[in-house]
Amino acid sequence: MRLTKFGHACVRLEQGDTTLVIDPGMFTEPAALAGADAVLITHEHADHFEAAALRAALAADPELRVFTNRAVAEQLDGVAQRVTVVGEGDAFEIGGIGVSVHGEWHAVIHPEIPLVRNIGFLVDGRVFHPGDALTVPPHAVETLLLPIAGPWTKVSELVDYVREAGPSRALPIHDAVLSPAGLAVHTRLVGPGGPGTGAEVSALAAGESLDLG
């Protein structure tokens, strides 16, 4: 499996002839969707879901499918036959790659800001994208996509989250709100310069790929 990081929270996963794209939002180059078999969307916030770009991709490729929660699906009227609503405990397969769904809610930004629904995707039992939540996958995974910064994150909680999730590696995502210096600081604190998580932590630049084996 090959993982490529795109803008902010978006990653592209390729295995054999199958390509999955997770959370292509407002900071994502449209090229991330080219040739994809399926798009997985964790929640409705614009940095994870950009309706116009997704509609354009669906119009360009009649085989493209979308898997997401109900709140996002309701914003894709007119292409509902291409959208599958999934939630906590569901599982499906795309081109031989198994995907299971975990979590229900976005992390709390502030008690006075309404919560939205949020789901995480475990791909091939090895790669977990939690969206905007610290949902612990059902078992230790090889690769955890770690939301490194946002209005709801705190470094101490991220350290504890990585420890609890128990991945071999953690790859920071959700980083558009950080300067390069800020990303370096956060990655160091969650990685080898902090109290320790037991995971290898390294950041990919936009467009950079990693072979997961």
Percent share of the chain, pLDDT over 90: 96
Measured CA to CA, the distance from residue 12 to residue 154 in angstroms comes to: 26
Question: In angstroms, rounded to a whole number, what is the distance separating the alpha carbons of residues 147 and 161?
Answer: 11
pLDDT tens, 149-195?
999 999 999 999 999 999 999 999 999 999 999 999 999 999 999 99
Q: How confident is the model at residue 206 (pLDDT cuts 50, 70, 90)?
A: very high
Could you tell me if 35 and 60 are in contact, meaning their C-beta atoms sit under 8 angstroms apart? no
Beta strands in 95-197 (DSSP E): 97-102, 120-123, 127-129, 143-147, 169-173
| pLDDT for res 49 | 98
Contacting residues for 31 by C-beta, under 8 A, at least 6 apart:
none
Residues 8-49 pLDDT 10s: 999 999 999 999 999 999 999 888 999 999 999 999 999 999
Dist CA 212 CA 129 (whole Å): 15
Q: For the segment 89-137, what is each residue's pLDDT rounded down to a tens digit?
A: 999 999 999 999 999 999 999 999 999 999 999 999 999 999 999 999 9
Q: Rounded to the nearest 5°, which phi and psi values hold at 23?
A: 55, 60
Report the mean per-residue pLDDT for the chain. Answer: 96
Q: What pLDDT does residue 213 have?
A: 84
pLDDT given for residue 12 in this prediction: 98
80 pLDDT band (50/70/90 cuts)? confident
Domains and CATH numbers, the chain: 2-211 (3.60.15.10)
CA atoms within a 13 Å half-sphere pointing along the CA-CB vector of 198? 12
Cβ atoms of 86 and 67 within 8 Å: the answer is: yes
Q: How many CA atoms lie within 13 A of 94 on its CB side?
A: 25
More reliable by pLDDT, 80 or 17: 17
Reduced to 3 states (helix: H, G, I; strand: E, B; else coil), residue 82 is: helix
Could you tell me which of 164, 167, 119 has the C-alpha nearest to residue 143? Answer: 167
Q: What are phi and psi of 21, to 5 degrees?
A: -125, 130
Q: Do 126 and 212 contact (CB within 8 A), yes or no?
A: yes
Calpha distance 121→131 (Å, rounded): 8
